[in-house]
Structure 1
Amino acid sequence: MIPSARAAGAPSPFSPRRGGLAFAGLAAALFTLAPAAARAEDPAPITIELNRLEPQPDLKPAAGCRAWLLMRNPGAEALDPLRLDLLLFGKDGVIARRLALDVGPLPGAKTMARVFDLSALPCENIGSVLLNDVLACNKGDDARAACAARITTASRVTGVNFEK
């Protein structure tokens, strides 16, 4: 028999009980850190806000509406190109217009406004806006899908929702 330096009844450093406790502690630490690490890797959301609608009686060929979009890209990566597919609905819920808007480039860590005119569509007739799709965002379908997932929409225009 080999003499032991440990006291009688003390757990061996190699005993299953001691190893089980060490593993449980390590597992608990990893589970606690995992959500924080995942959040740190999530890209920042891109916000597109319908900020303002203003009547434009002098638009040609017919009076219409000027729409202001406020876009926020808090991430470091620029979005170039950035093209959106928007559907505008009337107050009756029927699609009034479909637009493909080129709103990029949107630099990283930047907030920008984009303006577009809607001839022959009065502001008071717009009931809601739908971000139907992201047509282009950076290069490739994977980048387009990633951008679409990051985009959130909002509206400051009373009575007009902007949804995704």
Structure 2
Amino acid sequence: MGKFREISICVALAVSQVSAAAAQEGRLTVELNKFESAEGGGCRAFFLFRNETGMALEQFEMSLAVLDQGGVIDRLLTIDAAPLPAHRTTLKLFEIPGLGCDAVSEILMHDIPACKPQNADPVDCYSFLSLSSKASARLVE
């Protein structure tokens, strides 16, 4: 039983090291690409996820704070962007209900509640995350 336990620990360490090494290969870029008015006065946000980490992410959630033109937090949103295949760019659309696009000055990524590569333990996405924006609002952490 002792040998089996040692092998299991070695396998777990090897998987963690492979995940960490893969994360060092590249970045996960989250780009707020554009806004578009949605029905009912809301705003549709287009995000591009460029996953150059070498890991397919089966879980990736972002907690976002949406700030109005005065810099005041208008609302908090949690978005599930998974799955994010490795070495691919993925487009995801998210609705910000009841708030016009011109009312958004900034989107703050204040937490990543879930970041898990396929067939591996969760990882710290902040270590390889990069944010950018081409929209009228900034995307910051």
* TM-score of the pair, normalised by structure 1: 0.67
1:152 and 2:130 correspond:
yes
1:163 and 2:140 correspond:
yes
Question: What is the one-letter code of the residue matched to 1:143?
Answer: P
Q: CA deviation at 1:119?
A: 1.2
Q: For the residues of structure 2 that align with 1:126 and 1:149, how far apart are their CA atoms?
A: 27
Q: Which has the higher strand share?
A: 2
1:1-164 paired onto structure 2 within 5 Å: 42-56=24-38, 58-59=39-40, 63-138=41-116, 143-145=122-124, 147-158=125-136, 160-164=137-141
Gaps of 5+ in 1: 1-38
Q: For the residues of structure 2 that align with 1:150 and 1:78, how far apart are their CA atoms?
A: 14
Q: Residue 102 of structure 2: SS of its match in structure 1?
A: helix
| Deviations, residues 89-137 of structure 1 (Å, cap 9, x unaligned) | 0010000110110001101011001001111110010000111111101
Flag the structure with larger Rg: 1
Change (3 A) 1:41 1:49: closer
- Aligned residue-pair number: 118
Q: For the residues of structure 2 that align with 1:41 and 1:73, how far apart are their CA atoms?
A: 10
Change (3 A) 1:112 1:148: same
| Deviations, residues 42-78 of structure 1 (Å, cap 9, x unaligned) | 231100000010112x23xxx2100000000012210
Structure of higher RCO (CA pairs closer than 8 Å, 6+ residues apart): 2
Q: Residue 80 of structure 1: SS of its match in structure 2?
A: strand
Q: 4+ residue runs of structure 1 moved beyond 3 angstroms?
A: none
Q: Residue 122 of structure 2: SS of its match in structure 1?
A: helix
Aligned residues: CA RMSD: 1.9
Gaps of 5+ in 2: 1-20
Q: For the residues of structure 2 that align with 1:123 and 1:107, how far apart are their CA atoms?
A: 29
* Percent sequence identity over aligned pairs: 31
Aligned twin of 2:6: none
